[in-house]
Structure 1
């Protein structure tokens, strides 16, 4: 009997897992309760992989030897509960990819904020240094699909806590943990501790040849490390203390020491601006150094990196008013980082689907930097309650176009209009990219 792998959810990770499972000789079946995107349906048909959409047929799922659950499906899903009750092992897509990666190395990056930026920067440094590597995971191409279709000696993977929840043997050679702030608590029974444990699973299988790069200025990480016995090589990074092995920034100088090689450069040469990006750049530089990349290459790549779309992206300056698209800020901490790097009076566009936000985190920055707030969401009550007494005006809008026009009318020359919503986008938009694209279009139409 062949190994029956059932895949719940037919998004990028589900399809990637299906293609890899089939290639490895598994009997694969894909089930999605929703409607498939056309490109994913075509992928399954082209590979002759059995699937269903719009339903979960219980008997076709519960006869599995193993179930791969897409990261978007929560534990409280009825089908998942039945799978668990029957004792069928559940794995994540990165676990499946890991099983068949061969001798390849993995650099895995997780954290509540800055994952995509840091992952892209590490990949950019590796590519510039001539390494044959792929950018995978939460940032586009699924890890499993890459292993199936175009295996590489090195994978740079952005990993979410949801992907770490169902690992068994997944073991990155280099693990990067940027920060841990309250996010996605709806998926962790509203217990911050559960989410912290989930993030730390990135190092649970690491050994003495592996590296663990983490922020020594993050209280949550440091506190949790106090309860752990580490089996890996620690490389902390900090702006507050001298670091013997790892990275630090003192004044305007970044210093990285991993093995014998030392890399130093001025923070003014970083392509990415803002304090949070100095942390991201340190983490990326240390990761590159563990791979033996020469310091000249690291310096050069850090200078030439282009920042990501929808992440503190300068859109245009219209009549002296600058517009910045930070649509990827889907939690309050992301918005904190965005506001922290603002140096001009700011009109802030906030709102969307609130995942249990605590707006008190940004109160001080709002008082200091924000002159008006424009809400863009279907449910704005909480924003009014949090900031009503702090800013001169809060206006509700229902489209990106309306939000941009309202903000522009309020702005004076020398101001900045910042879209940094602190919320998910699913009430008015398909996703944060769609929200950012509509914002940019509205700015161009002014």
Structure 2
């Protein structure tokens, strides 16, 4: 692979960043008998790894054959600037692992739906590729299993991971969608898309890209890419056409009955269409895909059925960390007037017009929590009036929802927790946030006779 040493045996390799992917890279390097050096803000518990601080001059560490950059590290980090000047190759953890993996490989990216589509694609291909494994930005880091004899790997790949990677030589790539996100890193939507597009082996006719018809029309068709491109959508002419009224998805190979697909929302049918195309492209048989459509369990915190309390259904979509994700999930929500939507957290730099337009379509009630109260309340209050409730945190918000329901002021059939914001104002991550929501639902259910 580009800029990659032919052997790491006895070579000193610097790993920049000691998070999940950095630690996985260290383990892989030791397995390949390299000499890993960790550069991080603080040491880790592994005493067998040499540790250096981030402010060390890179010249003090020479010779170095390679630098493995963790995705959370800024591209302008001083170590990377010095490495460029010294012509030391820089790779991502994913690129490092790719050099040692011999199975077939699918990569999935996009603003929203990556985790679901990654897991779903792996699931749909599992009968044809026993032992197929999902990883990357979901579950295990690629470096933790790239040496195993796994026939198929499906990787979730973030823009940060792709930005750091050279050609990954995937068999199939998936770009689901594109919306404003991570612009604090990428600065513009064009730069963000350019990072996502690095997933595509665009000059390889044997490579297959799966993408939405919308993204193809708006961005991809202008490029002279030589790979095969398959699109999904609801319009005729797509390689996977979603037929909502017939509860089916028609591809060039088969018509799939999706009535048993357990995930709600039109956006999840788009994820399914993408997964079907990717599974077909990698060689999964249509009859096996059909058998597995109804058995997918979904993922925690992604439109997860959180149970019932007081006759109300609760949905946990804590993974919704931007407006695009929330709007995609609720765009086809049928009982909007009977829905109590919980929004809030730390807002991202996104225009609010799409949110205001959605709320104007007739959502029942909204609870707004966290830092979003200060930034959004004045914008959406004229739309919702007394049907907007403000709370400092989720626990206080639940108390207010209970009061509104028990008094008869709010007649709702479902409570949907789809924050459309980052979680970092109140929680470590969206998982902790979603777990808190689940506990509050469980506690309410125990209060009911």
Length-normalised TM-score, structure 2: 0.89
Question: Is the deviation greater in 174-183 or in 380-389?
Answer: 380-389
For residues 184-199 of structure 1, the aligned pairs below 5 Å read 184-189=182-187, 191-199=188-196
Return 195-204 or 83-92, whichever deviates more: 83-92
Q: Counterpart in 1 of 2:208?
A: 211
Shift of 1:158: 0.6
Matches of 1:35 and 1:335 in 2, distance apart? 38
Q: 1:224 aligns to what?
A: 219
Seen in structure 2, the aligned counterparts of structure 1 residues 99 and 321 have a Cα distance that, compared at 3 Å, is same
* Segment drifting more, 71-80 vs 105-114: 71-80
Indicate the SS of the match to 1:28: strand
The one-character-per-residue Cα deviations of 1:261-283 (angstroms, maximum 9, x if unpaired) are x2212332322221111111111
Q: Hey, what's the Cα distance between the residues in 1 that align with 2:306 and 2:382?
A: 30
Tell me the equivalent position of 2:124: 125
Say if 1:34 and 1:321 are closer, same or farther in 2 by CA, change over 3 A: farther
Instruction: Find the aligned partners of 2:10 and 2:366 in 1 and give their Cα distance.
Output: 58
- Asked if 1 retains the 8 angstrom alpha-carbon contact of 2:342 and 2:416, the reply is yes
* 1:371 matched residue in structure 2: 364
Partner of 1:179: 177
Paired residues for 1:248-397 under 5 Å: 248-250=241-243, 251-252=245-246, 253-257=248-252, 262-344=253-335, 345-393=338-386, 394-397=388-391
**Which residue does 1:97 correspond to in 2?**
97
Q: Could you say if the C-alpha distance between residues 35 and 385 of structure 1 is closer, same or farther in structure 2, counting changes exceeding 3 Å?
A: farther
Q: Distance in 2 between matches of 1:346 and 1:297?
A: 37
SS at match of 2:199: helix
Secondary structure at the aligned position of 1:100 is classed as coil
Give how far 1:236 is off: 1.4
TM-superposed CA distance for 1:292, in Å, is: 2.2
Q: Note the 1:26-37 alignment, pairs <5 A.
A: 26-33=34-41
Secondary structure at the counterpart of residue 397 of structure 2: helix
**Distance in 2, Cα, partners of 1:429 & 1:12:** 19
Alignment match, 2:3: none
Q: Secondary structure at the match of 1:175?
A: strand
Change (3 A) 1:35 1:378: farther
Cα–Cα, structure 1 residues 63 and 130, in superposed 2: closer, same or farther, change >3 Å?
closer
Shift of 1:380: 2.5
Task: Choose the corresponding residue for 2:423, options 422, 425, 444.
Answer: 425
Local SS of the residue matching 2:214: coil
Counterpart in the other structure of 1:237: 232
Q: Judge which range, 342-351 or 294-303, deviates more.
A: 342-351
| 8 A contact 1:132–1:152 mirrored in 2 | yes
C-alpha spacing 1:415/1:63, structure 2 compared with 1 (3 Å): farther
Structure 1 residues not aligned, in runs of 5+? none
CA deviation profile, 1:138-174 (whole Å, cap 9, x unmatched): 11100111114x3412111111111111212311101
- Structure 2: how far apart are the matches of 1:127 and 1:65? 38
Question: Is contact 1:171–1:205 with CA below 8 Å preserved after alignment?
Answer: no
Is contact 2:129-2:152 (8 Å) kept? no
- Kindly state the Cα deviation for residue 376 of structure 1 after the two structures are TM-superposed: 2.1
1:290-326 per-residue CA deviation (whole Å, 9 max, x = no partner) reads 2222222101111111111101112122112222111
Name the SS of the counterpart of 2:108 in structure 1.
strand
Return the alpha-carbon distance in structure 2 between the equivalents of residues 364 and 128 of structure 1.
Answer: 43
Change (3 A) 1:76 1:388: farther
Which residue does the alignment assign to 1:410?
404
* Pair 1:163-2:161 in alignment: yes
Moved more, 193-202 or 396-405: 396-405
> Higher mean Cα deviation, 417-426 or 386-395?
386-395
Asked if structure 1 preserves the Cα contact closer than 8 Å seen for 2:129 and 2:151, the reply is no
Partner of 1:145: 144
User: CA 1:138–1:366 in 2, change beyond 3 Å: closer, same or farther?
Assistant: same
- Structure 2 distance, partners of 1:125, 1:233, is 21
Q: Do 1:108 and 1:159's aligned partners in 2 also have CA atoms closer than 8 Å?
A: yes
Note the 1:3-22 alignment, pairs <5 A. Answer: 3-22=11-30
Number of equivalent positions: 426
In structure 2, stretches of 5+ residues that fail to align are 1-8, 445-449
* Cα distance change of structure 1 residues 76 and 130 upon mapping to structure 2, 3 Å threshold: closer
- Counterparts in 2 of 1:136 and 1:35: CA distance versus 1, 3 Å: same
1:1-80 matched pairs, under 5 angstroms: 2-33=10-41, 41=45, 44-45=46-47, 48-52=48-52, 56-59=55-58, 64-80=64-80
Q: Contact conserved, 2:367 with 2:389, CA < 8 A, in 1?
A: yes
Per the TM alignment, residue 52 of structure 1 is displaced from its structure 2 partner at its CA by 4.9
Distance in 2 (CA, whole Å) between partners of 1:35 and 1:395 is 45
